[in-house]
Amino acid sequence: MVDSCFRCGAELGAPPALCASCGAVQPFRADLSLYAVAGLPETYDLDVQTLRTQVLALQKGLHPDRFANAEPAARRYSLEWSTRLNEALAILRDPLRRADYLLQRQGVDALDERVKVADPELLMTQMTYRERLEDLAAARDLSGMEALRQEVDTAVTGVVQRLRGLLGVLPCVEPEAAGAALRELQFLDKLLGEIDRSEEHLQNA
Amino acid sequence: MAYSEKVIDHYEHPRNVGALDKDDSGVGTGMVGAPACGDVMRLQIRVNGQGIIEDAKFKTYGCGSAIASSSLVTEWVKGKTLDEAMAIKNSQIAEELELPPVKIHCSVLAEDAIKAAVEDYRKKQGGAPVAAQPEMAGAQAAH
C-alpha cells in the first residue's frame, strides 16, 4: 500500500509520518503497528541497536520542538507520532514486552492477570529461586546474589532463544507454547527485579 | 496502595509459614503461580486418618494480598474436612480481607492453591474422587 502526502500528494516512505518532498508532518495513523511506526518489518528477532538508531532518527524529524511554531494540527501530529515512537522503542527493545506485543497482535493475552500457571516444574524452579534469594538476603551475601543473578540471566537467555524459535514465523503457529515461554520469562523478569531490590536493600542498610 | 488492616495484619504476622514434608503420604501440596505479578504460592495440608486437615503451611512470594490470602486459607482449613476445604471460595477470602477489585486475583490464587493441595493429597491416596476432577480441568483450561 502506498501512502501519499496529504498536502502535496508525493509518495510517502515508511513510516508515513513526514513528507520527504514538502516536509509536512502527516496526520497520525493510530492503525499502524509499533513496527510500522518505527519503519521496521514485524519480526521477533530484532536488532535493538537498529531499532534505537531508527527511532532516534525518526524522532529527530518529528520532534514537537520542530513544530513549536507550526499550525495546531501539525503540532498535534508531531506529538502523536513522537509519543508512539517512544512507545515503540520502550516495548520493542524489551524481549519480554516485544513477545507479548506480537502475541497480543494475534489475539493471545498470555500475561492476563487471570492466567494462572500450574506447571509444577516451573513453579518448583521459581519457588527454589525465591527461597535461595531469601536465604542470601538473610545471610547478607551479595556475591551469592550476583551468582544467582547470573544464573537467572542465563535462564532468561534460554527462554528468549526459545521464543525466537517459536516466534520465528508470524503469526505464531504454537501460541500455547509461546505463551508458556512468555510466562516463564515474566517470572524470571520479576525475580530479577526482586534481586535488584534485595541488593539495594543490603547496600543501603 | 491502601491495604485493609486485615491484610496488613496477615502480612506482618503471617500464620503458618513453612513447609511440610511433601513426600509424606498424609501431606498434600498445592503450588500455583500468577505470572502477571510473578507470584508463587505453595500451600500444604496434613490430613489425619479421619480425613480432617490437622495442619496447614504456606510459603508465598508475592504481594501483601497474596501472602494474606494464603495465610488466611491455612487458618481456615485447619480442622476442616477435605470437602469443606474444597468449598472455600475466593469471594469469601476477598470479602474477609476486604481486597480491592485489582487484588481479587490474589484470592483466586489462594483458592486454586488449596484445591491443588487437596487434589494432590487425594491422588496420593489413590482414589481421586470423580467430583474433584472437573475443577482441575477447568483451572487448566484457563491457560
Residue A14's contacts (CB-CB under 8 Å, 6 or more residues apart) are A36, A39
- Architecture label for domain B5-124: Alpha-Beta Complex (3.90)
Q: What is the pLDDT of residues A122-176, one digit of tens each?
A: 999 999 999 999 999 999 999 999 999 999 999 999 999 999 999 999 999 999 9
Q: What is the pLDDT of residue B137?
A: 39
Tell me which of B17, B22, B29, B31 to substitute to probe the interface with A (most A C-beta atoms closer than 10 Å): B31
Q: What is the pLDDT of residues A39-75, one digit of tens each?
A: 999 999 999 999 999 999 999 999 999 999 999 999 9
3-state secondary structure of B57: strand
- The winner for highest mean pLDDT among A1-5, B70-74, B135-139 is B70-74
The C-alpha atoms of residue A82 and residue A77 are separated, in whole angstroms, by 8
Q: What is the pLDDT of residue B1?
A: 58
Q: What is the pLDDT of residue B99?
A: 93
Closest by Cα among B112, B107, B110, B120 to B47: B120
Mean per-residue pLDDT of chain B: 87
Q: What is the pLDDT of residues A75-131, one digit of tens each?
A: 999 999 999 999 999 999 999 999 999 999 999 999 988 888 888 899 999 999 999
**Domain extent listing, chain A:** 34-93, 120-204
Residue B134 confidence (pLDDT) above 70: no
Q: pTM (2 decimals)?
A: 0.85
Closest by Cα among A88, A99, A106, A68 to A15: A88
Q: What is the pLDDT of residues B77-97, one digit of tens each?
A: 999 999 999 999 999 999 999
The x, y and z cell numbers of residue A33, run together, are: 503497528
Nearest CA in chain A to B136: A118
Interface contact flag, A127 B40, Cβ < 8 Å:
yes
The x, y and z cell numbers of residue A201, run together, are: 536493600
Four-point Cα dihedral B72, B74, B79, B82, nearest 10: 110
Q: What is the pLDDT of residue B30?
A: 95
> For B139, which of A113, A116, A190 is closest by C-beta distance?
A116
When pLDDT is cut at 50, 70 and 90, the band that residue B127 belongs to is low
What's the one-letter identity of residue B2?
A: A
Residue A113's contacts (CB-CB under 8 Å, 6 or more residues apart) are B34, B36, B37, B105
How far is A58 from chain B, CA to nearest CA, in Å?
Answer: 33
Q: What is the pLDDT of residues A175-199, one digit of tens each?
A: 999 999 999 999 999 999 999 999 9
Q: What is the pLDDT of residues B48-67, one digit of tens each?
A: 999 999 999 999 998 899 99
**Domain extent listing, chain B:** 5-124
The C-alpha atoms of residue A104 and residue A101 are separated, in whole angstroms, by 5
Superfamily (CATH) of domain A120-204: HscB, C-terminal domain (1.20.1280.20)
ipTM over 0.85: no
Residue B136 confidence (pLDDT) above 50: no
Q: What is the pLDDT of residue B140?
A: 42
Measured N-to-C along each axis, helices A72-92 and A95-105 cross at an angle, to the nearest 10 degrees, of 110
- How many A-B residue pairs are in contact by the CB < 8 A criterion? 77
CA-based end-to-end distance of chain A = 59
Interface contact flag, B37 A127, Cβ < 8 Å:
no
- Architecture label for domain A34-93: Orthogonal Bundle (1.10)
